[in-house]
Structure 1
Amino acid sequence: MNPFARRAALAAVTAIAAGVMLAGPAIAQQPFPSKPIQLVLPFPPGGSFDPIFRTLSEAAAKELGQPIVIMHKPGAGGVMGTATLATMNEADGYTISVMHNSVIRAPLVQKVNWDPLKDFTYLIGLAGLTTGIVVAADASWKTLPELLADAKKRPGAVSWGNVGAISINRIYGERLAKAAGTSFNMVPFKGGSEAFQAVIGRHLDVYGDPGFGSQVQGGKVRLLATFTSERLKRYNAPTVKELGYDLVIESPVGLVAPKNLDPKIASRLTAAFRKAASDPAYLNQLELFDMQPHVIGGEEYLAYAKAQFAREQKMLADIGFKPE
């Protein structure tokens, strides 16, 4: 190669290298988000969470300028899907998940290799679940006292379903039975859609979980009582507490990302979902499924999770629960 050609080749290589060096920071500084975001929904399709979070995601996507894709990852009573984020090595904001109390409780009731208080970035708390006790519309029990009286005559004969074997709703169902001097045949389900089909088809006697609104309003199931502090305005059903059992379930849901998420990205996601949480279509879905809107920031949600973990640790110790 002659000297002129050699100098020309060297100049070309230098220019390419300089271009790569300049492009690197530009790629690194690309604004978030620059591609679709995955939202893990840890329950099967067809349950109450499906339309609620689909509507919320559509509203948040408008704020973020990128699609939010729902990824159903059911398993372990809604714990498995969220837990996959706890073991991710990197947090880039492109994978987030629904968080709920069964995930926070998981280390207290089974062996897991992650910590719900350390292995997630808490983004936002969104709403509170409302737990009800329902039976088929044509079931013989018209009230909760009737149901409990029958169960007391036949301990273990009445079947009681919940989503997951370790949910707070399962635990409170057991506590209610114990307080009434009886026991239920506890049946875990993967999702609410499957459980409601079982109740309506008379394959399951009782279902004690959230998401009952549309089924009650459609006349397919009868609401006997709720685990709320006060009666729901929409229904004339008593609370478990007013019937003499001091049992109230608080069960908020929100969103998390893997740990160590860049605070700027976390703030971007929180702001988008906070605005989306005021979207009328989303609020209509909450009302349809009797969920109460309650928006809190990531730090406040983490503080709640820590306090809830401590409360449930004490409660499980008080009732003598042994981890699996």
Structure 2
Amino acid sequence: MMLYPPCPEPPGRARRGPAGDRDVTDCSTPSPATRGPAVAVIGAGAAGLAAARRLAGTCAVTVFDKARGPGGRLAHRRREGFAFDFGAPFFTARDPRFTAELARLRAAGIVTPWACRFAEIEAAAITHRRDWGDTPAHYVSIGRMSRLTAHWAEGLDIRQNCRITALHPAPAGWTLESEAGERFGPFAFVVLALPAPQAAALLPETSMLRATAASARMQGAFSLMLGLAAPLDPGFDAALVRDGVLSWISLCAARPGHEGGPGLVAISRNSWADDHLEDDPATIRAAMLDALAACLGETLAPVHLDLHRWRYANAPAVAGRPRLIDAANRLALCGDWTAQGKVEAAYLSGLETAEAVLARLAAS
């Protein structure tokens, strides 16, 4: 039985590569509506989609992603009548470019500020409460967090369920090879919008970007999703946990536009996850449930329980900005790990990398 749909049939034409090569799906000829060089973006999270959207007006862009749908860590899951936003729980905006984008998204009914009852927990006790307002606004996508990236993906040529495992030099740039053995290209430029270790594994030794990605530190996390038989009211809608196993707790039903049974999402502390990343899932679930019971003052009996491991959840804030474009090799990087590890940082990274790629292509 096929669990996931196959990588969609590319619109390009298949041609025979050099002797001994597999067929290559030709992405070098843009459609009549898009005249310009072919560019590949690997990764359909916030950074990759921001880069692809900026490039699409000038270039023939193809986005490749290993998942069933765009989103990255703006993740949503439905199980047994429950619905969970189990990745980034919210995002803020400080840069005028992202603020302007959120204004457009609000007008389109995609995102909204989350007016939630917020708490801070330390030593298993609530130490602070306040209501989130508009200063500063904490945004969520209406209904599901992945709605934002689904909106950004509209109109783009995205090959889902297509994990790229190798880049091969070609006379006209690069060809890409998938895990299934498919070849795509040639591309005049390749943008890698991936977690740093995954980008480092794809980059050739000849690119100075490989050292940049290999030296970046990324942190893990676990998301525990609980479906409950009855609504829960711990006195808050979302809580920042200052110590211990957990870092975040939120009630699913408190999120704007939520559809599904009563549920709760708990996210682990990065440092704790890094120490337990390879532990048995049952051990992780038990530890997080114990920590959750301590924070709530009661032991929950979920009717549904799910755990997701984020091997590359986020990155610590970095001083300065690493160089993200290798003009000589026509390769570029983007992602939240290059800045502050936030949704806004991911969006701006994609935007800025796309601008640099466009400038390089224009110069050539």
Fold similarity call, TM over 0.5? no
Larger Rg: 1
**In proportion to residue count, which structure has more helix?**
1
* TM-score calculated relative to the size of structure 2: 0.25
**In proportion to residue count, which structure has more strand?**
2
Q: Which has the higher contact order (CA 8 A, sep 6+)?
A: 1
